[in-house]
Amino acid sequence: MHYRRLGRTGLLVSDIGFGSLEIGRPWGLRSADDPGLPPPLEDVERLMNRVLDLGINFIDTAAAYEDSEERIGQTVAHRRGEYVLATKFGEDFKTGVGSDYNFTAARAEWFLERSLKRLRTDTIDLWQIHCGPNELETVTSEETMGAMVRAKESGKVRFLGVSPGSEQAALAAIETGVYDTLQLTYNLYDRLMEKNVLPAAKAADIGIIIKWPLGGGVLTTKADRLGEDQAERKVQVAAFTKEAEKRGITLSDYALRFLLSNEAVSTIIAGTRSIEHLEANAANSGKTL
């Protein structure tokens, strides 16, 4: 496993990280034989311990990932010294109900205490805003930033980050000087953050965490599950697949190595419920196009 510096945090994190959405909440492109449900706890335990055994030391979760935080605490809290733990706050989610967003100082404190309890830890290495509506207002809110800084000063949090969806909010977050990391959507077909945000973050020594690296399954063998309403995306995926085949690698390998080729990227959080897919992802560590 290869490691990169997470910006000014100074933390060395595996270039292939682990996104834990799928171990706690229904997710992904589904089919008749794969409803996208979280696996049983015993399977999660095997998966999470395999994550650490492979040398993956960056684990990202969120309060909104339903059972994810709790399951991380249940399965690998006894190995807490082996991983950098990142979680997000501000969004609460329940299957069948949806998301509720609240970024007030009081609610931030509530999220933090609940996350610490669920994760069975005294300290969260990276505490991030889970952006929702009005994200520009959220990332620049004096109340929200103040609550985060106080959490850092208390020792319950080591570093601060934000997960914005728009270029405007990402650049504004960098300008605040408060956030140590950005968690951004970036992949072969979604390159919104490539031109302006990634260079600005690198110049400011902001750590970059890449989410959605495989497009939620679109840049994997699950691409055949795309419906007819995704005809344009299918054409894109077919073109990427041809490029991968020219190199003798899989589409997923191609997608991950494309991201690792960008020096601004610190770590890629590729999520999965499968040990087989986990190992395949990890095999791309240190490889570029």
35 pLDDT higher than 90: no
32 pLDDT higher than 80: no
Is position 118 within any domain?
yes
Pair 151, 139: CB distance under 8 Å: no
Count of alpha carbons within 13 angstroms of residue 220, beta-carbon side: 18
Average pLDDT for the chain = 96
Question: Which CATH number covers residue 53?
Answer: 3.20.20.100
Residue 197 neighbours by CB under 8 Å, 6+ apart: 167, 170, 171, 174, 182, 184
Count of domains forming the chain? 1
Would you state the pLDDT for residue 229?
83
What is d(CA 23, CA 96) in angstroms, rounded to the nearest whole number? 17
Is position 97 within any domain?
yes
Is position 127 within any domain?
yes
Is position 184 within any domain?
yes
- Domain range for 25 is 3-282
> How many CB atoms are located within 10 Å of the residue 137 CB?
12
Would you state the pLDDT for residue 76?
98
Residue 39 per-residue DSSP state: P
Is position 43 within any domain?
yes
Q: What is the pTM of this model?
A: 0.96
Is position 202 within any domain?
yes
> How many CB atoms are located within 10 Å of the residue 106 CB?
10
Residues paired with 94 in a beta bridge: 98
Pair 200, 177: CB distance under 8 Å: no
138 pLDDT higher than 90: yes
Is position 287 within any domain?
no
Is position 15 within any domain?
yes
What is d(CA 282, CA 289) in angstroms, rounded to the nearest whole number? 16
What six digits make up the tokens of 280?
A: 């395949």
What is d(CA 229, CA 243) in angstroms, rounded to the nearest whole number? 24
